[in-house]
A = this chain, B = another copy of it.
Amino acid sequence: MARAESIVLVNTGYGKGKSSAAFGVMGRAWARGWRVGVVQFIKSGKWKTGERKLADHLEIEWHTLGDGFTWESTDLDETAAKGRHAWDVAAAKLASGDFDLLILDELTYAVKYGWVDVTDVVEGVRARAPHTNVVITGRDAPEELVALADTVTEMRKVKHAYDQGIKAKKGIEY
């Protein structure tokens, strides 16, 4: 059986655990002494703060949508330009050879919202440094990404506390 130099994982679906599983892999990779980077394509006040704090503690490089972005008048609206900028950051990291693992958290939304063309994503992931493993998360992974990936998991909601009138819980869900 072949041992791939690097693999591409996609966590998609409407259930819980897509990003959690990516951050579990982040911890595992850290434990192995890997160089890990995270690019987060959705910015939110409270979400991801736990993961970010852990990443900082582990000295993992983390880029959030909007970081280092300077608005200049273009044809794009500001949100799309930020999304495109985050993808450019991710593409540079993919190609750099500086990482054993890159987590592209919620990348599928950048495609879904039209910030980045799926062909650019496929090309960027294909053109990555050979040893750079990639984990991509988000709902509605486009079929081109599924085709490209080595492992794809659909997180399917069987039951969710929210449906039963229970609010998201700090420490568990964010």
Contact = CB atoms under 8 A, between A and B. Distances in A.
A42 interface: no
Contact of A27 (B23, B156, B174): B23
A34 B172 CA distance: 10
A98 interface: no
Given A153-B156, A167-B3, A51 B23 contact: no
Which of the four size classes fits the interface of chain A? 35 or more
Interface stretch (A9-17, A63-71, A75-83, A108-116): A9-17
Copy total for this chain = 2
Contacts of A18: 17
Classify the secondary structure of A's interface with B. mixed
Interface of A: 1-4, 7, 9-13, 15-32, 34, 49-54, 57, 100-101, 133, 146, 149-161, 164-167, 169-172, 174
25 contacts: A2-B167, A4-B167, A4-B169, A9-B16, A10-B158, A16-B153, A17-B17, A17-B24, A20-B25, A23-B23, A28-B174, A31-B50, A32-B50, A149-B159, A150-B159, A150-B160, A150-B166, A151-B159, A151-B160, A151-B161, A152-B157, A152-B158, A153-B156, A153-B158, A154-B158
